[in-house]
Amino acid sequence: MTDSAAEALDAPAPHEAKRDARTIAIVGFAHGSSHFSQLLLAPLFPWIKDAFGLSYAELGLLMTAFYVVSGFAQAAAGFVVDRVGALPVLLGAIALFSVAALGMALSVSYPMLLVCSGLAGLANSPFHPVDFSIMNARVAPSRLGKAYAVHGISGNLGWAAAPLFMVGIAGIAGWRAALAGAAVLLALVWLVVWRYRSLLSGGRREPEAPGEAAAKSAAPAGGTFDFLRIPAVWMSFGFFFAAAAVLGGVQSFGPESARQLHEVPLQYVALCLTGYMLSSAAGMLLGGVLAADADRAERIIAWGFGGAAVVALMLGFSSWPGWTVPLLFAVMGFGSGIAGPSRDLLVRRATPPGATGRVYGMVYSGLDVGSALAPAVFGVLMDTGHPALIWAGIALFQGLMIASALNIGRATARRTPAPAA
């Protein structure tokens, strides 16, 4: 048989490509709802503060409760996904988000809000092990880079949509109506996922990417917790902790520190974060194409986050006209976005067979830990009058991400047996 004939036989049928596209779309849709739900309360803080007479510290504790619960529960959620399957866990998580939003709308005290925020954190915890279990099992390896890109972009769009939805309704009908509207919206998301549930369940797709099966066959096997002995898993945890620290710094205090350092006009400050998120989404599109070759994942991450770190240092330690600052945010976001799909491919390479949910649950809990701790650390820097150190910290964490990615690449390469002579 000729090489061209063999390639034709191995090529996925058109209906498989269409099914993969639909699966990717539904997973992305559900993932966007989780990011939307992460911002149920934050855009409503001005209303909630007045309604309950809260301090800023008490408002911040609502978000801390969300991410602490999500971080602890995410590691456990991976085990549940591996045991009962991704689809029932996904449907349960979306339903719990809807219940939590309704509970927030009906809250009559601060403790009730705190409990509902914790419930929302519990709902948030399974999304990464669920999403990646589905994509790794249902999407052809040749399209996983694009799947991861869509997954990342959908999260950014969820973040972008939440303030518009919540503040828009709150401005017209009040904060309780906004949360009730979110509960209804999430119920509709549940119905859509249920409608297309057949796309989200089933066994692993074959074949895997070249060298991937061999790498995984060399991984520790046997016990439920054996994956914890894989160094790349803990390196990946550290990678995502640093990633959350970077995003937490950019989202929480990046625009304000840039305003202080560069005298950015108020009308431009709001554009900083918007530009970062939109450019990050655009970067993920390119990153999805580049990630088609999994062997260059570490290099893509190094270039993407390396460029973003340079821009961060430029923002912290050189002078720029105020109107240029949103553009620098956009460049930084684009570099981070390019690296996004490749970072997910690195985790996939570190995952032994049958442990996808557990590994992704453990690794992505690093995001929640970083999200809970980083804003507090950066807040101290702002309170003590050191806005430039925000950008030094962001660049430092980006450097740690590059080092972690290179170490993960080396660790997974060592697990790949040499080809037979």
Q: What is the pLDDT of residue 353?
A: 62
Tell which residue, 38, 11, 260, has the closest CA to residue 127.
Answer: 38
> What is the per-residue DSSP string for 12-26?
PPHHHHHHHHHHHHH
User: E strand or H helix at 122, and its extent?
Assistant: helix 110-124
Length of the chain: 421
pLDDT, one tens digit per residue, over 27-54 is: 999 999 999 998 898 888 878 988 999 8
Q: Average of pLDDT values for 189-211? A: 73
The span from the CA of 125 to the CA of 265, in Å, is 38
What pTM was computed for the model? Answer: 0.70
- For the chain, the straight-line distance linking the first and the last C-alpha, in angstroms and rounded, comes to 23
Mean pLDDT calculated for residue range 351-363: 67
Residue 36, pLDDT score: 92
Q: Which pLDDT score is estimated for 14? A: 63
Three-state SS string across 28-96, please?
HHHHHHHHHHHCCCHHHHHHHHHHHCCCHHHHHHHHHHHHHHHHHHHHHHHHHHHHHCHHHHHHHHHHH
Cis ω before 207 (30° cut-off from 0): yes
For residue 10, name the pLDDT band (cuts at 50, 70, 90): very low
Euclidean distance between CA atoms 370 and 243, whole angstroms: 8
| Other Cβ atoms within 10 Å of 327 Cβ, number | 16
CB-based contacts of 230, cutoff 8 Å, min separation 6? 219, 220, 350, 352, 411
Q: Which pLDDT tens digit goes with each residue over 113-151?
A: 999 999 999 999 898 888 888 988 888 888 887 888 888
Beta carbons of 369 and 244 less than 8 angstroms apart:
yes
Query: Under 8 Å CB-to-CB from 253, ≥6 apart: which residues?
Result: 375, 378, 379, 381, 382, 387, 390
E strand or H helix at 156: helix 144-173
Instruction: Calculate the CA 78 to chain-centre distance.
Output: 16
CA nearest to 117, candidates 42, 8, 201, 223? 42
Which pLDDT score, from 0 to 100, does residue 65 have? 87
User: Quick one: which of 117, 106, 124, 110 has its CA closest to 62?
Assistant: 117
pLDDT mean over 202-228: 50
Torsion of CA 182, 184, 187, 192, to 10 degrees: -90
Locate 13 and state its tokens: 């049928």
pLDDT tens digits along 326-347: 899 999 999 998 887 787 777 7
Instruction: Judge contact between 166 and 36, C-beta under 8 A.
Output: no
The two structure tokens encoding residue 32: 């966007």
User: Which pLDDT score is estimated for 417?
Assistant: 43
Instruction: Give the Cα separation of 26 and 85 in Å (integer).
Output: 17
- Residue among 230, 205, 211, 206 nearest 358 (CA): 230
Nearest CA to 254 among 339, 316, 322? 316
- 278: pLDDT strictly greater than 70: yes
Position 351 scores a pLDDT of 67
CA-CA distance, 392 to 386, in Å (whole number)?
Answer: 10
In degrees, rounded to 5, the angle at the alpha carbon of residue 185 between the alpha carbons of residues 272 and 196 is: 105
